[in-house]
Homo-oligomer: A and B are copies of this chain.
Amino acid sequence: MEPVALPWGPPREERADAARNRAHLIGVAREMVAELGACNVTMDALAERAGLGKGTVFRRFGTRAGIFHAVLDEEEALFQHRVMTGPAPLGPGAPAAERLAAFGRARLEFLAAHLALARASLDVARPVPGQSPSLFHVRMLLAEACPDDALTGTLALQLVAALEGPVLLYLQRQDEGPLVVDDLITSWQVLVERLTAR
């Protein structure tokens, strides 16, 4: 259904104000997560440092998890920006197989660095995190590295699951030891090298 311009509702300035509050809150939350760790950021402290009422914070994000989800979305956007326009081999300019290996390393480091944030954003009732940006990128590089392969689509789906699945699984369990990211990076590189070798 198309949105309809209603003759009532909040005036335009208030909506612009709401957007500013939201961006401000996300910025402050990012700072606090970096300083204190996600699990030590309370809604009270966030509202206080942002100079806003606690009611405003809840109105913008619904729950405590909601704010971490918004911060994670921001971090995702910055990551995608590095992939799309940053220096090679993560960014454009290197052979596809090299970019694929670099993407795996960067993605695993990103996921590991944001574990606490991702865990803090989990308990909100939301669908499974979308993997589309990773999927889109891996499929593109795979099509370039293996132009003769017919099943680039499903192979990309499996590679993204191989890359992100172990970390997502780890996230949803509480009883595990430490996540050995370096080993995952190395075995991802083995996987990609053998897959794209000609």
Residues of A within 8 A of B (CB): 127-128, 131, 149, 151, 153-155, 157-166, 169, 172-173, 180, 183-184, 186-188, 190-191, 194-195, 197
Contact = CB atoms under 8 A, between A and B. Distances in A.
13 contacts: A128-B169, A128-B173, A149-B190, A151-B186, A151-B190, A154-B184, A157-B166, A158-B162, A158-B163, A158-B166, A162-B165, A190-B195, A191-B195
Contact of A158 (B151, B154, B180, B187): B187
Residues of A contacting B: mostly: helix
A159 B188 CA distance: 10
Nearest to A166: B157
Nearest to A104: B158
B161 A191 contact: no
A165 B158 contact: yes
A67 B166 CA distance: 28
Nearest to A188: B158
A161 to B, nearest CB: 3
Given A154-B183, A160-B165, A194-B194, 13 more contacts: A127-B172, A127-B173, A128-B172, A151-B183, A151-B190, A153-B183, A154-B166, A154-B186, A157-B166, A159-B162, A161-B162, A162-B162, A194-B197
